Chain A
Amino acid sequence: MRRLVICLSLLLGAGDCLAEFSGNVAVEAVTFPEEAQFEDQFDENVTLSFEPRWEGDWNDGDDQWSVELFMRADNKDAQREHADIRELLWLHFDGDNEWRVGINTMFWGVTESQHLVDVINQTDAVESIDGEEKLGQPMIHLKRYQDWGVLDFLLLPGFRERTFHAKEGRLRADPVVDTDQAEYESSAGQQHVDYAFRFSQTYQDLDLGLSWFDGTSRDPLFLTGSDANGDVVLIPFYEQMTQIGIDAQLFYLDWTWRLELIHRRSSSAIRDAFIYGFEYTFFGVLDSSSDIGAIVEYSYDNRPEEQRGVFDRDVFVGARFALNDAQSTEVLTGLLVDIEKYSRNFRVEASRRVGDSWKATLEVQVFSNVALDDPLRALANDNYLLLEMAYYF
């Protein structure tokens, strides 16, 4: 403990414990070519983000610490201007046990188009539309290595609310979500302590994970209410839930088969859902060093239509291009089609290193054929083109 205190006191100076400082600063420019659906929404925006990280260790690496922050400055979307502690972690190795205490991110799952099993961290929904940006979650996490598998035990005190775009922001819900009025099923509210457990093991070409979660659902339901000005708003309502999850990935020749399956019980619904699909990789296409992966995924959700979200019964067809060049150029593109409403979402994400320290990212999202009764309707005019230049240090 004394070493830890010394370590912390050394943070501002130099010392053994202060090992590394790294991170990135990025400028993001986005343009929405179609006229906004709602009043006051902007058409173009330029924002700035900063993601610093510090890490170090002591006791010959048996103890590690790390801090990672995220900040975004946004002049037009007040809800997207935010800061978050992504990581504030003490990690202790003790033989076959690993203890993590603090704020951290933990990802579960295998599928590409959407994620079902992954329920530990809240989605930082203002950051990206694909739900892959997460808010830091306070946790006490024990990882235990056994010969027959790896066990994760998590105690999750403190709940993080999902972020939502402001009234002026593009990609917002209709009506706008008022996070200030968020409600909880549990009387403990944000102080409810959640539990989670996971078993995972690799059996040669099969990766298997079984997970269990009991606590506040990261996915809110929405109640209709009104804000201080009397405008109609959506109020997030966070239920209690229990979820059992299975994730599996099987490698066979140039095929990768993926499955995520959940059974979720809450007061409002019993939800059974799965995503199932494959990726087939064409290596060294046309005698080049490029690889192309063809991805097909199908998702299903048993809940009645009025309870389902967007793209809960859909097919995703996509392709991943990896040029394997010195600039690590990669392109992921795909089409998500709702198989009942036929709403479509087409996306392209491409990235490439520029020089030694810069990375350029291009993202295009197109929403088309959106049905009038589809919850996706609020985004119907929000096709966008986004360019990010990030400087890494």
Chain B
Amino acid sequence: MPDTRIIALLLLLALPCSTLAQDAQQRGLEIAQAAKAYDRGFTDFTANMTMTLKNRSGDTSTRLIRIRTLEVEGDGDKSLSIFDEPADVKGTAMLTYTHGLEPDDQWLYLPALKRVKRISSRNKSGPFMGSTFAFEDLGSQEVEKYTYNYLRDEPCGEWTCHVLERFPAYEHSGYTRQVVWLDSKAYRLVKVEFYDRKKALLKTLTASGFAQYLGHYWRPGSMYMENHQTGKSTLLEWTDYQFKTGLTERDFSSQKLKSLQ
């Protein structure tokens, strides 16, 4: 008899708890969906990216990369990176078809060999060009890539941010968890904390200098990724954003990689 009472009491206590948890998951998912919906319809954009790598002792090296991205309805975006610097990789181009839970498709054009190579891209946790950005940090943000958990709202600079946890649902992620700060007005991704496979804080991404394009779409002017474990950091500075430039599927064909300039 006392046993059933205790169980009943425990049930009473647990019930609102699990409903709360479900609410937090639902709210997290809704915010992620709203963020994706806000950015929908950008069609395509091009931009220039300067990537400055800094190691623990403060040595820097710079990469210049031109980016072209095509929005794909119902799947991850298609994206092209064309390298202008360092000089030894000038003309190298990387084409990525990002997908939600499936591994991305990826091709590399190597100008020294004049050869397009399709490369295995299952490992999303590998570093992009020796930087502190992993491939998975730069891919398009598809809702189904994560499960979510809403934490709280709090001020972030001049805005108010939704703070969410998200957990990678795709295989081979380098993270167990990310904590994301999204502003509540336009869903600008202000900050992300990345926790590694051992659940320790690995990296922090901070985005700033947001500008609005076509009167709607927001993009950051700079993204700073610091690795707390290695002391390395990478600064991405974005310039010359252009939207709806008329890029088509054909421009993202692997066979086009050879004729990019």
- Is chain B found bound to chain A in the same assembly? yes
Interface residues, chain A, with chain B CB atoms under 8 Å away: 19-20, 22, 24, 55-57, 61, 64, 66, 91, 93, 96, 98, 105-107, 132, 134, 143, 145, 150, 200, 202, 207, 249, 251, 253-254, 256, 279, 281, 283-284, 289, 291, 324-328, 353, 356-359, 390, 392-393
Contact A55 B255 (CB under 8 A): no
CB-based contact B250/A145 at 8 Å: yes
Which residue on B lies nearest to A290, using beta carbons? B126
Instruction: Assess the B87–A22 pair: CB atoms within 8 A.
Output: yes
* B114, A107: Cβ atoms closer than 8 Å: yes
- Residue numbers in A under 8 Å from B172 (CB-CB): 283
A326 touches B259 (CB 8 A): no
Q: Is the CB of B88 within 8 A of A359?
A: yes
Does chain A have a CB within 8 A of B209?
no
A–B Cβ pairs within 8 angstroms, 7 of them: A19-B261, A106-B114, A132-B113, A207-B118, A281-B120, A283-B126, A393-B87
B23-62: contact bitstring with A at CB < 8 Å (1 yes, 0 no)? 0000000000000000000000000000001010000011
Complex CA–CA separation, A202 to B97 (angstroms): 13
Return chain A residues, CB-CB under 8 Å to B131: 326
Contact partner, B255, options A134, A150, A249, Cβ 8 Å: A150
B85 with A254: CB separation less than 8 A: no
Bound-state Cα–Cα, A150 to B123, Å: 29
3 closest cross-chain pairs (CB), A and B: A392-B87, A283-B123, A326-B130
Question: Do A324 and B127 touch (CB < 8 A)?
Answer: yes
Nearest CB in chain B to that of A205: its residue: B105
Determine the chain B residues whose CB is within 8 A of the CB of A256 once the complex forms. 120
Task: Say how far A84's CB is from chain B's closest CB, in angstroms.
Answer: 13
Contact A356:B62 (CB < 8 A) given known A145-B253, A392-B87 = yes
Give the contacting residue for B259; candidates A98, A132, A328, A356; CB below 8 A: A98
- Interface check B89, CB cutoff 8 A: yes
The answer, yes or no, to whether B139 is at the interface (CB within 8 Å) is no
Q: What's the minimum C-beta distance from A195 to chain B, rounded to whole angstroms?
A: 20
**Do B123 and A284 have beta carbons less than 8 Å apart?**
yes
Q: Per-residue 0/1 for B71-83: is the Cβ within 8 Å of any A Cβ (1 yes, 0 no)?
A: 0000000000000
Contact B261 A57 (CB under 8 A): yes
Q: Is the Cβ of B255 less than 8 Å from the Cβ of A145?
A: yes
With both beta carbons as reference points, the residue of chain B lying nearest to A326 in the complex is identified as B130
Q: Which residues of A contact B231 (CB under 8 A)?
A: none
B254 on the interface (CB 8 Å rule)? yes
B120: A residues at CB distance < 8 A: 251, 254, 256, 279, 281
Chain B residues with Cβ under 8 A from A64's Cβ? 259, 261
Given contacts A145-B253, A289-B127, contact A284 B174 (CB under 8 A): yes
Most A CB atoms within 10 A — which of B62, B125, B174, B261? B261
Interface size class of B (residues with CB under 8 A): 20 to 34
The answer to whether A91 touches B259 (Cβ under 8 A) is yes
Residue in A61, A106, A327 whose CB lies within 8 Å of B130: A327
**Known A105-B114, A207-B118; 15 more pairs at CB < 8 Å:** A22-B87, A24-B87, A57-B261, A61-B261, A106-B114, A253-B122, A284-B123, A284-B126, A328-B89, A328-B129, A328-B130, A356-B62, A356-B86, A359-B88, A393-B87
Find the B residue at minimum CB distance from A202: B254
Task: Indicate if the CB atoms of A289 and B253 lie closer than 8 Å.
Answer: no
Do B61 and A326 have beta carbons less than 8 Å apart?
A: yes
Residues of chain B contacted by A55 (CB below 8 angstroms): 261
B residues in contact with A145, CB < 8 Å: 250, 253, 255
Consensus secondary structure, chain B interface:
loop
State in angstroms the CA–CA spacing of A279 and B120 once bound together: 10
Residues of B within 8 A of A22 (CB): 87, 90-91
- A357 interface neighbour in B88, B115, B254, Cβ under 8 Å: B88
Query: Distance (Å) between the CB of A14 and the closest chain B CB?
Result: 17
Given the interface pairs A150-B255, A324-B130, A326-B61, the reply to whether A107 lies near B113 with Cβ below 8 Å is: yes
Nearest A residue to B255 via CB reads A150
CB nearest to B174 among chain A residues: A284
Given contacts A145-B255, A324-B130, contact A251 B118 (CB under 8 A): yes
Q: Is the CB–CB distance between B87 and A356 below 8 Å?
A: yes
- Given A107-B113, A284-B125: A356 touches B90 (CB 8 Å cut-off): no
Residue ID in chain A nearest B197 by CB atoms: A287
List residues of chain A with CB within 8 A of the CB of B259. 64, 91, 93, 98
How far does the alpha carbon of A284 sit from the alpha carbon of B202 in the complex, in Å? Answer: 15
Q: Is the CB of A356 within 8 A of B61?
A: yes
Residues 212-260 of B at the A interface (beta carbon under 8 Å)? 250, 253-255, 259
Select which of A150, A202, A324, A359 is within 8 A of B126 by beta carbon: A324
Q: In the complex the two chains form, what is the Cα distance from A299 to B114 in whole Å?
A: 24
Residues of A within 8 A of B254 (CB): 202
Chain A residues whose CB sits within 8 angstroms of the CB of B126 once the complex forms: 283-284, 289, 291, 324
**How far, in whole Å, are A327 and B89 apart by their CA atoms in the complex?**
11
**Shortest Cβ distance from residue A277 to the other chain B in the assembled complex, whole angstroms:** 15
Given contact pairs A254-B120, A353-B88, A390-B88, A143 touches B114 in the complex (Cβ within 8 A): no
Residues on the A chain within 8 Å of B53, using CB = 326
Chain B, Cβ-Cβ closest to A56: B261
Please give the distance in Å from A91's CB to the nearest CB on chain B: 6
Q: Give the distance to chain A from B97, nearest Cβ to Cβ, in Å.
A: 10
Q: Given A327-B130, A328-B89, A392-B88, is A143 in contact with B122 using a C-beta cutoff of 8 Å? A: no
A29–chain B nearest beta-carbon distance, Å = 19
